[in-house]
Structure 1
């Protein structure tokens, strides 16, 4: 006779645990893979640029008209940039950085001290 008696319920439970651990490991791998390479979306960058322009402009006590005169950009365009409704081209970001006496990269990363 078979000396080793198998319990079908124990086998089912062990199979369940094996499946569960395999499922969890797959989810962890997927989460790490998905989160590791995430870069800010274009919308997030546009909003960050606009919010940063407005924040710095206000901290420096400058009006939209002041920035308009320094950059050659219309106040309406500046307002749309600040609201995140339009994405300024690179040339405009450079002009804004100069007008606000900031490094251009700050508008995207926010890493430089004011």
Structure 2
């Protein structure tokens, strides 16, 4: 790969990233996930690494869900889309029933059909 102007060990990082992403796809079945990931990673990972991988794999969607809920609460309370933004009183959206119903519908829609 030196002829591309890349360092010699640069392709190893691409292989590692590709293996990691493939292990995400192949680890959807929990009963076979440990063996599949070890097969894809060529036994280069230990049990502690796999436990961390599966912990992040499980907890990341819940963390994103908490951030989305916090974002919606702050949107309705302060009228801002960003908590760290400036003053939002000029375009403050109250806790109007339309927005409550719209957000509730979207929440049910995304949780049931995704």
Fold match, TM over 0.5? no
Higher RCO (CA-CA < 8 Å; seq separation 6+)? 1
Structure whose alpha-carbon radius of gyration is higher: 1
TM-score of the superposed pair, with normalisation by structure 1: 0.29
